[in-house]
Structure 1
């Protein structure tokens, strides 16, 4: 049976700066779970508490939180998609986790929005997409990027499709940004 005292001990040790010992206790805590139901219940309560800050403890995420979210994601549970998007920094710290899900924040938000469009997810999806587009143009006027490389003509065409989709999500706040980005992509395409 799960031992919540171990989690509290981990927090105490962590706050005292005793990292190796706190990590050992964290792993004992994770090992104390005996059923999937215990894991599900604890992960739900933990995520909803918001007590983890910007990133969840590495071992806790990899060994407990991510497996629960992944199981639910594979069942197409919308809430798990939103939690995976929210905890994307943890996924980004571990290449094998990213390879397992094969997408980033935008991909999870898009799936959640497709299942059930709502205002909050629309705003997060638009924000994520505009953030990605903004990164793509951050070297302008030198070029438009995909990752850390210059975008190909075909990748620029995909960016233009992203702009069209972003406009369907936008209530007008991002119009100027999208117009500028679209003009830059078209200008860059003329140079290719």
Structure 2
């Protein structure tokens, strides 16, 4: 029954049949009622769900099945739940109720937790590296005007930034991003010197 409902949803969603997709998603959620069933369904099917233009999976399914399952496994220390919470982060921040239940985490936080629990996982490592690179590219995109940090506590921010760059370099095993990471490290040092000079503490 549940498999049939999921197949109905996937078909309607793929065809862009919004009314039918909503009806099928609601029926699917209602059919997966127990916590154990939600966990089993999520483990089996989450990665089959397509994301929309906002990088979110269907909200009824996330709210009714996926989030309760991932929350339960995350609170048990499951690294896969941490990884999947990072992967569905746009859903996680879409409603205050999710962060109120679990606490505030960034996608990077979820990926870092997964990686720390299972550092041998290339999936977790790649996800964390990609997120770090996205963040760093954004922070440096106004260079040479500056780096997008909190200037009220710039010394701590610079230290944290260098730690992120060094860590990203350590997990960039193929060295595909070595040039960018090296440039960001140099920019960080230059910006630290610039701010030191500005504050008269050099």
The TM-score range, normalised by the shorter chain, is 0.7 to 0.9
Specify the alignment match of 1:22 in structure 2.
21
- 1:13-162 alignment to 2 at 5 Å? 13-47=12-46, 50-54=47-51, 55-98=56-99, 100-118=102-120, 120=122, 121-146=124-149, 152-153=153-154, 154-162=156-164
Specify the alignment match of 2:7 in structure 1.
8
Deviating more after overlay: 169-178 vs 108-117: 169-178
Counterparts of 1:151 and 1:166 in 2: how far apart (Å)? 25
Q: What is the aligned residue count?
A: 187
Q: Deviations over 1:96-129 (max 9, x none)?
A: 4345342222212211221121151333322321
Distance 1:164-1:15 versus aligned 2 partners, 3 A rule: closer
Alignment partner of 1:182 is 2:181: no
How far is the alpha carbon of 1:21 from its aligned partner?
4.3
Task: Select which of 161, 168, 171 maps to 1:169.
Answer: 171
Q: TM-score, length-normalised on structure 2? A: 0.78
Counterparts of 1:161 and 1:78 in 2: how far apart (Å)? 23
Contact 2:129 2:168 in 1 (8 A): yes
How far is the alpha carbon of 1:80 from its aligned partner?
1.0
Distance 1:122-1:8 versus aligned 2 partners, 3 A rule: closer
